[in-house]
Amino acid sequence: MKNTPSLPAVLGFAAWSGTGKTTLLTRVLPRLRQAGLRVGVIKHAHHDFEIDTPGKDSYELRKAGADHLLIASDQRWALLHDYPETREPRLESLLSILPRDQLDLVLVEGFRHLPFPRIELHRAATGQPLLFPGDPHIIAVASDTALNTHLPVLDLNSPEQVAAFIIARVRTDG
C-alpha cells in the first residue's frame, strides 16, 4: 500500500502472539501524538468480539437486526457494522472508512499477509523465530536482544526509540 497525498502513511506491527504488540503501541502512541502526528489504529481480531454491553440499547438494537449502528454522544461516536456472513475484513476497506484528511499515520496490528511496510517485534523469551527473513515488507525489527541483520534494530523496551523511528519515517515518506 503506497502512500499518496490523499492517504495517510500506513505502518504495521507484526509479531507472534504474546510479544507485546498492543503494549508497545499504547506506549508509542502518546509519543507520536506529542510529535504532532494524527494517528489512527486498525487492529485485527482473530475472534468474535463485542464493544458494547449486553443489555445496553446499542447492543439490543444491533442484535435485533441493525446491520449498521452509529452510536454518538457529545464526546465520541462509534460505527458498528455486522457482516452478513463470516468473512475476513479487507484492510483496504477498513482504511477507506478512516477520515484520511484527518490522519498523518495509520498503525496496523495484524494483516501481516498483506504487502505494506511493518516493524517486526521480537521477544527472545517467546522462543518464536524471526519473521523478517521471509517477509520482504518488514522494514525494521524491535527486539529485546541483539540481532545480526541489515535492517534497523530498535530496542523493543524503548518506546521512545520506536516512536522516533516512526516519526522519522513518516516525515521522510510523507
- Domain 9-44+89-173: which CATH number of 3.40.50.300, 3.50.50.60, 3.20.20.140, 3.40.50.10800: 3.40.50.300
pLDDT score at 30: 97
**Tens digit of pLDDT for each residue in 64-112?**
888 888 888 888 888 888 777 777 788 998 898 898 889 999 999 988 8
**Tens digit of pLDDT for each residue in 15-45?**
998 899 999 999 999 999 999 999 999 988 7
**Tens digit of pLDDT for each residue in 1-19?**
444 445 799 999 999 988 9
Residues 1, 115: contact at Cβ < 8 Å? yes
Grid cell of 35 as nine digits: 510529535
Other CB atoms within 10 Å distance of the CB of residue 36: 9
pLDDT score at 1: 46
Confidence class of residue 46 from pLDDT cuts 50, 70 and 90? low
Grid cell of 44 as nine digits: 485485527
pLDDT score at 162: 98
Q: Which helix (H) or strand (E) holds 170?
A: helix 159-173
CA distance 151 to 131: 12
With a CB cutoff of 8 Å and minimum separation 6, the contacts of 124 are 143, 144, 145
Q: What are the residue boundaries of the structural domains of the chain, listed by start?
A: 9-44+89-173, 50-85
What's the predicted TM-score (pTM) here?
Answer: 0.85
